[in-house]
Amino acid sequence: MVIVNRSCGSNEELSKAYYEAGIPEVIDKKNKGKSILNYQPWWFPNFSSKRTSARANFKRFDSVQHFSDHHYVLKGNASKQHSRTWAKKIQADWKILEKDLPACESRMDLMRAVIVGAEGTPYHDGLFFFDIHFPDTYPSVPPMVHYHSGGLTINPNLYNSGHVCLSLLGTWYGNTRENWLPQESTMLQLLVSIQGLILNRKPYYNEPFVGWTKWTPLGEPFSKGYSENVFILSLRTMVYIMRKPPNHFEEFVRSHYFVRASDIVKAANAYIDGAPVGSIVKGTSQGGSMKFRTEVAVFMKTVVDEFVKLGVKELQDKLKPPPVIHTNTSSGPVPGHLAMIQEPDIASSLKMSLIKGIARFKLIST
């Protein structure tokens, strides 16, 4: 079991993994310019309540004996003999992820990781689970990775089937340095790549062949709309995980959302007020669409209901209602969930304009 939240491993190892994954290192200006890759978030130290203490004391890396719900449980078995190279590489990965681990386990070929969505992304505060299998030919080939999707597609690289599309896994094309290198690549690098390259701030640009729109007027409206949809899917993923946490992570899931519930509601309220997704800044010209603001308000009721089941109190009254649109009609203000159908879909309009432009270009070319 592995927990990844930008604080797993030593500073030196994380810096190397982030560098190899192409992810810029984060610098804390208040700490004399030192890297904060290995700093624990404010909510991770010891707490007074049993639940938050359990969250704080949950091991970053641990071994278990029962793995019946693992996606790859039927691949291989405990009695199968593996090469020394295979075992040595996995043990080396273990040591990078956490020191002083047991030297031998009954199913070394299986691993489960949870990645905590980073602040400033539409995935913030979410928990994203991955099942990992080390095939017989590892490390000559990369490990196999399956995402616990709950049937949702929250990123172009994470399919609703659980397939993970990443050059480091050999499931997407990339240059030599982006591919799996048997003598150099590690599990830490892989997990950091998933967090930094997939669960990132603007996942729209992970879509194939759309990177060029970043430098055009089309890019940001597309990206904004995509991120808004991703956040709604991230909320749905929260509910899915709270209702059906993977084995051995039950208390971690409960404790994580028990601690983060209030801040998740605060962020949702900011979005309902018009803040752009991934930000808590109000009143910007790039604020959320009415459709997004309304969907957040509506679905957060379900999320808060799950928080209440965890023992979080007095959240229902803190959640803001759907926004109201003031119209020029005599009927007065219109609730957002009714008015949003009147709002033009800018992204769809731009997309249609792009399609028409391409079709026109083809017509002229022929």
Residues (pLDDT < 70) of the chain are 1-68, 72-74, 76-82, 86-106, 176, 280-286, 325-366
Q: From start to end of 85-180, where are the E strands?
A: 110-116, 127-133, 144-147
C-alpha 162/C-alpha 144 separation (Å) is: 11
Q: Can you give the pLDDT at residue 110?
A: 85
Q: Can you give the pLDDT at residue 324?
A: 78
C-alpha 283/C-alpha 274 separation (Å) is: 7
Q: Can you give the pLDDT at residue 231?
A: 97
Q: Can you give the pLDDT at residue 106?
A: 67
Q: Can you give the pLDDT at residue 4?
A: 58
C-alpha 131/C-alpha 327 separation (Å) is: 50
Q: DSSP alpha helices (H): ranges in the chain?
A: 11-21, 50-57, 84-97, 187-193, 219-243, 250-272, 290-309, 336-339, 346-365
How many CA atoms lie within 13 Å of 54's alpha carbon, on the beta-carbon side?
14
Cα–Cα distance list, 5 to 9, 50, 145, 319, 338 (Å): 10, 22, 18, 27, 39
* Cβ–Cβ under 8 Å, residues 257 and 248: no
Q: Can you give the pLDDT at residue 263?
A: 95
Q: Can you give the pLDDT at residue 31?
A: 38
- Which pTM value belongs to this model? 0.71
- Residue-wise DSSP of 267-319: HHHHHHTTPPTT----S-TTPPPHHHHHHHHHHHHHHHHHHHHTT--S-GGGS
Annotated catalytic sites, by residue? Answer: 165
Q: Can you give the pLDDT at residue 111?
A: 86
Helices 290-309, 250-272: axis angle to 10 degrees equals 150
Q: Can you give the pLDDT at residue 228?
A: 96
